[in-house]
Every structure is written in C-alpha cells, then in structure tokens.
Amino acid sequence: MGPPVPHLLTLADVSPAQISRFLCQAHALKQLSQPWLLPRPQLPSSSERSSLNSPFRGRRTPSQSLHAKTIALLFSKRSTRTRVSAETAASILGGRALFLGADDIQLGVNESLRDSARVIGGMCQGIFARVGDHSEIEELANHSPVPVLNALSSLWHPTQILADLLTLHEHAHLFPGALPAGTPHFLTPERHDHTLLSPLQSLPPLTVAYVGDSANVLHDMLVTYPRLGHSLRIASPPQYRAPTPVWDRVVELGCDKGIHWTDDPREAVNGADVVVTDTWISMGQEAEKEERLKAFNGYKITETLCQEGGAKPHWRFLHCLPRKQDEVDDHVFYGPRSLVFPEADNRKWTIMALFDLLFGKWDISTTEIRHRDAFEYDKGLRWGGIAQAVNDVLDDRQAYDSHPSRRREIPSDARQGYESRQTYRRENPAAARPPSERRQAHQRDPLAEALANPPTQPEIDTDRSPSWLSGSRE
C-alpha cells in the first residue's frame, strides 16, 4: 500500500506552518518563473545567463513536477481567475490541465460522484474541483485515488485566501511594523550562489476588516488569519453570518477569540489595516438579489466610510473579483489603496505552489527545515520555511539543456563537484578568473592562435638513450 492520498479542502485542515510553506513555495516559484515568461525571440545563451545585468542570471527553470501528468479541472461553476491560473500553472510545471465543465462529462448526472472520482482519478494525477455544495467535493475526496484540491465550494475557498496572504506579504512595506528593507538573504552564497531569490517579507500583526456577506472567502479567512496573528473585524447583517459547520471549525481551532462581529460597517473598519469585501450575490443566489441588496444597503466600501469609521491612514483594499458597483466605488477599487489586481495575479502562483506540492509531490507536510540558523517570522511564519521552499525547487532533479523539451538527469555527484570547485576557488583566489576573462577565453579562436604562434621544433639530441627514440619520456 502506498502513502495516504493528501487532499486540501480548506485551510482549516492544515497548520500555520503548512500555510507558511505554501506561501513560501508560491513566492519561490513566482521568482523562478517570471524571467522565463518575458517576451524573447529565443532562449537565452549561456553567456547571457551569466551576465550580471541579465534577468536570467542564476535562474533555473521552475520545478517540472507535473511532467507527463494531467490535472482534471472539474468546474460546475463559471470561472475566470481560477481556470486561467490553473491552466497556466500546470503548463509551467510541465503538465497539462484538462478542463471538464458541467456539460462535458457525466459528473453527478448519469454517474455518481463516487464513480466519477474513481474513473477520473485513474486517468489523471490530480483533481482541482470547483463545485456547488461542499458535500460534493468531500465525496470526491473520499473516493479519489489521487489528490483533490478545492477550487471553490459553498463553504470554503482556500486558494483565494492564500493569494490574499501572498499579496499582503509582498506589500508588507506598506504597513508599519514590517521588517526593514535589506534584511540579509536566507541562502548563503557559498551553497546557492547560482540562485538569486529574495525572501518573502514578514507581516506585522494586522487588523483586517471584512464588510459584506459571510461567504466562502470569509470562511477561510476566519480559520486562517487569527492563527497567523491577525485580528478580524466583520460587518455583516445578522441573518448573513457564518453557518454552523464553519463556526464550529472556527471555535475548534480557537480562532473565535480574534474575531469581532458587528452589523455596522463603520465599526468594523475602525483601526483597520486592510479592508476586504466580496460579492453580495454569489452564483446560485440570483433569486435573492433584491432581498440581499436591501439587506446590504450602506455596506459599500468608500473612502468616506473608511474615514468616518476610523480606518488607519495606510489602509489597503482587497476584493477577490468579479466586482460589482454596489460593493465598492471606483475611487477605491481603481485607486492607490487597491491591491485587487496583484491579488488576482497571485492566484496563479499560489495555485502553482499547491499543484507542485499536492499533485506533483504528494507532500504538503512541514518537513525538517535545513537552515536552522534562519530567524523566525512574526506569529509563526519562518524564514526557514522560505529556504525549505526554495530547496524544494532546487532539489528537483530535472534540468534543461538548450531547450525545455530536452531534459537530462543531473548526476548525483554533480552538486558535489560544483561545491568542490567553489571550495577550491575560495581557497585559491588566483585560480578564480573574473567573468570578463572567462568570456574572453570562451570566445578565443584556438585555430587562429595556433597559426599565429606555430610550435617550435625541438632539436634532436643524439646523446639521448634509445628509449627516447621509441617514444618514452623521462
């Protein structure tokens, strides 16, 4: 019997350390991938990749953990960001995303979810499911022979919250209390001087205000933010609060102590570093539109509301999209406080990290951190987790020759040889020529040099022993 099949249906099922690892892996893969996505007429040469000013300097291609693998996208609801993120992420990781919409297969129509899970799992290496009721994805996970990842359900939306957190970490410099810029790199040049990845900046404890309906996005916030040291202030009408199954998980994880509920949006945004909202009318709730618009009257996010409520001067805005005019005005949505488009972009990188770890490696645990001298993040997020994430990428044993389609295995002694050469160069500085001299040596024409400097013919020494005439040397 093989290892147990890992699934991820909600962030309530994983620890803060695992959440940290997901964010670190996403940050590392994002840095490794972006230079390769720039418009270029051809792949960079070896000399260009070693240039000090090249974006490819020290860059390896991202992990190819999905090579020859297919990920089934089971979408019973429409999607823009989730589908595009999944398909592009699978491609970068060397795999293929197979979109299966509600009208494409027999899922839940002429075939049970149990049977569909077994059949699809027997042909694909992962299932990324965007479903209606949460019981549907639980049924898939119970009977699938491959990992199942929740792309969205009626109760939870884990990939969205990971994208939100990654966005906040990347903009941590906007919030007072963040670590100063220029923090030393977590990887030592001696070991990984060919890898130029910046660390993910730590977040100070934040006050996050959520104004709107208690839907799947908020539910994963409830079980995640308090465990990472952030407090939540939520404004929602009394009839639109978290359902019992969600609140039971909140209490079980001890997150309820860091959550403040109110029905006044101005009270909710008081002291907020971040203001978040979501759609008031989700897919399938169109019949409730008039009732919901009436209930959420006055909940629209505006500069005036946040100023009157006492939000902090540096507050920033998040929205998972798609956005409607009733939820937030243009001044906030398109203004300097808005992080919604970097947030949307990060859906790709966080989904890629989960595809890599969950579908490619079947490993979403927190293994021993190699860099024990790395210092801790605030509230449980560790620099060592970033180092581990980068090592997950670097330790992937697939590399590329001149073209990504031509793979070769790195011999087990290749890394040892590299480290030996680095040690020799440190101990013998004269032997380490600067890059300019190495390039000149690489561009040298041996034939032209031989013609310009022909070797001199030695004079025959008749006094030498007969052994010299037979070709032996002293």
Q: What is the pLDDT of residues 116-158, one digit of tens each?
A: 999 999 999 999 999 999 999 999 999 999 999 999 999 999 9
Q: How many helices and strands (H and E) does the chain possess? A: 19, 11
Q: Give me the domains of the chain, ranges plus CATH numbers.
A: 11-39+55-178+343-394 (3.40.50.1370), 205-338 (3.40.50.1370), 414-451 (no CATH)
Per-residue DSSP letter, 376: B
Mean pLDDT computed over 63-70? 96
* Per-residue pLDDT tens digits for 175-187: 998 766 544 433 3
Is pLDDT above 60 for 23? yes
Per-residue DSSP letter, 246: H
Give the max Cα distance, the chain: 114
Q: Do the beta carbons of residue 23 and residue 169 sit within 8 Å?
A: yes
Q: Do the beta carbons of residue 272 and residue 312 sit within 8 Å?
A: yes
pLDDT number for residue 275: 98
Q: How far apart are CA 128 and CA 99, in angstroms?
A: 10
HSE toward the beta carbon, residue 395, CA cutoff 13 A: 9
**φ, ψ of residue 75 in degrees (nearest 5):** -115, 110
Q: How far apart are CA 393 and CA 417, in angstroms?
A: 20
* Per-residue pLDDT tens digits for 461-471: 445 444 544 44
Taken in order 324, 326, 330, 333, the sign of the CA dihedral is negative
Whether 306 is a known active-site residue: answer no
* Per-residue pLDDT tens digits for 283-300: 667 777 889 999 999 999
* Residue 3, burial from CB neighbour count under 10 angstroms (0-12, 13-18, 19+): exposed
Residue 131, token pair as written in the block: 């479903």
* Per-residue pLDDT tens digits for 108-124: 678 889 999 999 999 99
* Residue 246, burial from CB neighbour count under 10 angstroms (0-12, 13-18, 19+): buried
Q: How far apart are CA 125 and CA 69, in angstroms?
A: 6
Count CB atoms within 10 A of the CB of residue 62. 22
Q: How far apart are CA 37 and CA 264, in angstroms?
A: 45
pLDDT number for residue 445: 59
* Of residues 283, 324, 334, 281, the one with CA closest to residue 300: 324
Is pLDDT above 70 for 376? no
**φ, ψ of residue 145 in degrees (nearest 5):** -80, 0
Catalytic residue chosen out of the listed positions 24, 124, 255, 320: 320
